[in-house]
Amino acid sequence: MTSYEKLLLENKAWAKEVEQEDPTFFKRLSALQTPEFLWIGCSDSRVPADKITGTQPGEIFVHRNIANMVVHTDVNLLSVLDYAVNHLKVRHVIVCGHYGCGGVKAAMGNQDFKPVLNMWLRNIKDVYHVHKTELDAIANEDDKTDRLVELNVKEQVSHLAQTSIIQRAWKNDNRPYLHGWVYGLKDGLIKPVMEVQPGAEIDPLYRYDDL
Ligand code: CO
């Protein structure tokens, strides 16, 4: 059996098991999804949103990219955010990074990853640049990476608050809460590093008045 055939076989077993435990599960979910959370995480295969939070299908709306970035010109991310906030009406948006992130590590180095990856990693380099003094003072490379992982998560949460999508939802619906979390590959635990309440003060430069 090939590796991908095993996936299909496992899928059959899983569907059967779920059906046996909860005969209306698929019927219910196929009719409606009402997730309370939007998860913006890293594409890293070791950080599956549902597994590490013990959630079931239907509970988390998910967007993942390299190093869990919120890039203002990323139509994919913004579409997911718009849909989650304005149509699914999620109450919480979580940006979850992880220690030892390969994307963050790559952005700290000088290797040429060729145009597209260079372009993506550039966004992380810019976060480093903002916190250069603090990060340059950390001698150990792993510690430096992990600190940048934390700072990057906070920066991406701030980017969320800077969008008109979030600001409009704050004004009209007093949600969503924004969360910055970091997952530990070594212990499986999530550390919250930031929380932003609806309507929080943000830098006036990024504030929209005519929402
Ligand atoms: Co990563």
Residue-wise pLDDT for 153-165, tens only, equals 999 999 999 999 9
Kindly give the distance from the C-alpha atom of residue 104 to the centroid of ligand 1, in angstroms, as a whole number: 7
Distant-in-sequence, close-in-space partners of 102: CB < 8 Å, separation ≥ 6: 44
Q: Domain spans of the chain?
A: 34-199
Q: Which of 50, 95, 100 is nearest to 192 (CA)?
A: 95
207 is annotated as an active-site residue: no
Three-state DSSP at 77 gives helix
To the query of whether residue 42 is one of the catalytic residues in this protein, the response is yes
Mean pLDDT of the chain: 97
In this predicted structure, what is the pLDDT of residue 178?
98
Given 96, 101, 147, 175, which residue is catalytic? 101
Determine which one of 44, 63, 147, 159 is catalytic.
44
Token code pair at residue 142: 């792993």
Calculate how far, in angstroms, residue 111's C-alpha sits from the geometric centre of ligand 1.
Answer: 17
CA of 174 to the centre of ligand 1 (A): 31
pTM of the model: 0.96
Structure tokens at 171: 């004004």
Active-site residue, 122 included: no
DSSP annotation of 127 reads: H
CATH superfamily of 34-199: Carbonic anhydrase (3.40.1050.10)
Known catalytic residue at 44: yes
Per-residue pLDDT at 210 exceeds 90: no
Closest to 177 in 3D by CA, of 66, 36, 82, 1: 36
pLDDT value at 74 more than 90 = yes
CA of 23 to the centre of ligand 1 (A): 37
Is the predicted pLDDT of residue 203 greater than 90, yes or no? yes
Phi (first) and psi of residue 199, to 5 degrees: 80, 10
Q: What is the dihedral of CA 65, 68, 74, 78, to 10 degrees?
A: 110
Rounded Cα gap, residues 129 and 43, in angstroms:
23
Q: Does the active-site annotation cover 131?
A: no
Q: Which amino acid is located at 6 in the chain?
A: K
The SS3 call for residue 64 is: strand
